[in-house]
Chain A
Amino acid sequence: AQSVTQLDSHVSVSEGTPVLLRCNYSSSYSPSLFWYVQHPNKGLQLLLKYTSAATLVKGINGFEAEFKKSETSFHLTKPSAHMSDAAEYFCVVSDAGTASKLTFGTGTRLQVTL
């Protein structure tokens, strides 16, 4: 079975500094991986997805992630944090043959301070 592990439950950065949210995956096949963001009292929004094309994936709002098969990692990065980035971030893997059955990581809460 596939799974994802988010290595940090909470990350705090200063505004303007880089963001790194770490995710490792486990899958018996070539996975489809996603990052979703959830702002307080709002639904989940797709940031980016990896589906075996380019290993460096660019998403919305300046976020990007790199798929590293040798390290089974899919870390999310952003060069410069903004206050509006404060939210819960989920690393997600989909089941084989469908992107409609998602397995979520436990989430990383990103705090951005002045």
Chain B
Amino acid sequence: AGVTQSPTHLIKTRGQQVTLSCSPISGHRSVSWYQQTPGQGLQFLFEYFSETQRNKGNFPGRFSGRQFSNSRSEMNVSTLELGDSALYLCASSLHRLNEQFFGPGTRLTVL
């Protein structure tokens, strides 16, 4: 099985918070998150490996994430803004130096 993400679609209102989930390919230990919008394109959010954040992109502190011991990862966005509407993609790799495999994404709409 490939990378799975849940939920597929999500609608929230401004000010709410949201948690997105990502299950990597079995055996993969590195998980990264990306945001895709028509205006800004694909942008890196965070990278996790062995439950530790290794890199963080240029996003405000409202965006946070974590990785569990089974390599599954979650990202959280607090105090949602309209501009947070995007496709959020998760990617996993065997190790930090291996190519990434992407999930289908979670489409977040903020009203």
Contact = CB atoms under 8 A, between A and B. Distances in A.
Given A46-B100, A100-B31, 17 more contacts: A34-B99, A36-B102, A46-B99, A49-B99, A95-B55, A99-B93, A99-B96, A99-B97, A99-B98, A100-B32, A101-B44, A101-B57, A102-B42, A102-B91, A102-B100, A103-B44, A104-B34
Contact of A44 (B44, B55, B57, B102): B102
Tier of interface size on chain B: 20 to 34
B105 interface: yes
Contact of B96 (A44, A46, A49, A98): A98
Contact of A100 (B30, B104, B105): B30
A90 B42 contact: yes
A46 B32 contact: no
A88 to B, nearest CB: 10
B30 A104 contact: no
B55 A98 contact: yes
8 A-B pairs closest in CB distance: A104-B42, A44-B102, A98-B96, A43-B104, A100-B47, A43-B102, A101-B55, A100-B30
